[in-house]
């Protein structure tokens, strides 16, 4: 049975698309047939981060409006065989998405894929509501910052009341907390929220903590999901989180500030 997983946050710029790309790639690397859908119609970032922007012909809106078949719009990843991307449209807005249209697409994808990741747009408007409506599981992306935690709290409430599972009074959507852009040094200095505080407010299970890292921006700019960068902390943290998502036990890493040795302190060099 295919699992529909929404990657959501409420707030913008916290790392939803980066996390969607990393998670989709990570699941596919582990042999799961995975498709990631960009619900951010009108903005369209996922294809850039996945490095497939030059291969986009049709998009989700074309499929919903019957202008293209689903298979024509799906982009098969060249690096990981079991990974596909369904891009968003840049020339339409979110009103082009309909519940029936999205349902048809998800039902059709469910025949072929194990995991259907929905990369939600920011906000709690139509695009975000449609992205989470069909979800079986939710990855709630949060930064260690008050407004981000507040918005995540809000979106958890929306998941509990406005998802299809909630409307049909089935088992609730399974929620996972993914803390991104975590900077242990700034947390230690009290400039960012502590992990315990975030967990205390949101009170959902912690899936992973992704450290703030330059490698994320580098990966975005080169169109390579950061999880493919096995050298970077962020890439390793995403790989751990994917493993935990699939039920493995992994200790959380990168929670303490890196103690720089004298050599590093003298010659600069920041955490990769």
Binding site for another protein (CB under 8 A): 124, 150-151, 153-154, 156-158, 160-161, 200-201, 203
8 is in an annotated binding site: no
194 is in an annotated binding site: no
Tokens of 34: 């995975």
142 is in an annotated binding site: no
Instruction: Tell me the closest approach of the beta carbon of residue 9 to another protein, in angstroms.
Output: 13
Q: Which is nearer to another protein, 56 or 193 (CB)?
A: 193
Instruction: Tell me the closest approach of the beta carbon of residue 156 to another protein, in angstroms.
Output: 5
Instruction: Tell me the closest approach of the beta carbon of residue 234 to another protein, in angstroms.
Output: 28
Q: Which is nearer to another protein, 84 or 152 (CB)?
A: 152
Q: Which is nearer to another protein, 56 or 124 (CB)?
A: 124
In DSSP notation, 141-173 reads: EE-SSHHHHHHHHHHHHHHHHHSHHHHTT-SPP
Please compute, for residue 182, the number of CA atoms within 13 A of its CA located in the half-sphere on the CB side: 28
16 is in an annotated binding site: yes
Instruction: Tell me the closest approach of the beta carbon of residue 166 to another protein, in angstroms.
Output: 11
- Residue 272, classed as helix, strand or coil, is coil
d(CA 106, CA 272): 37
d(CA 159, CA 8): 10
13 is in an annotated binding site: yes
The answer for residues whose C-beta is within 8 angstroms of residue 32's C-beta and 6 or more apart is 82, 114, 115, 246
Please state the residue numbers annotated as binding site for ATP.
Answer: 11-18
């Amino acid at each position: 049975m295919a699992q529909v997983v929404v990657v959501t946050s409420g707030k913008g710029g916290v790392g939803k698309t980066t996390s969607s790309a990393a998670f989709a790639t990570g699941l596919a690397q582990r042999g799961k047939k995975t498709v990631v859908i960009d619900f951010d119609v009108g903005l369209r970032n996922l294809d850039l981060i996945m490095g497939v922007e030059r291969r986009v012909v049709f998009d989700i809106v074309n499929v919903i409006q019957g202008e293209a078949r689903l298979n024509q719009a799906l982009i098969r990843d060249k690096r990981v065989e079991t990974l596909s991307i369904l891009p968003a449209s840049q020339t339409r807005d979110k009103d082009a998405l309909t519940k029936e249209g999205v349902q048809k697409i998800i039902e059709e994808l469910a025949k072929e894929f194990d995991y259907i990741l929905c990369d939600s747009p920011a906000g709690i408007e139509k695009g975000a509501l449609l992205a989470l409506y069909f979800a079986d599981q939710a990855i709630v992306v949060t930064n260690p910052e008050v407004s981000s935690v507040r918005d995540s709290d809000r979106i958890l409430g929306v998941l509990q009341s406005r998802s299809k599972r909630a409307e049909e009074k089935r088992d609730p959507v399974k929620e996972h907390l993914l803390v991104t852009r975590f900077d242990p040094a700034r947390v230690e200095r009290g400039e960012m929220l502590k992990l315990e505080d975030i967990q205390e407010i949101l009170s959902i299970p912690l899936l992973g903590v992704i450290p703030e890292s330059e490698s994320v921006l580098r990966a975005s700019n080169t169109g390579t999901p950061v999880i493919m960068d096995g050298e970077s902390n962020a890439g390793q943290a995403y790989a751990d989180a994917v493993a935990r998502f699939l039920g493995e036990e992994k200790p959380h890493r990168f929670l303490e500030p890196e103690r720089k040795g004298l050599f590093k302190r003298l010659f600069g060099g920041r955490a990769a």
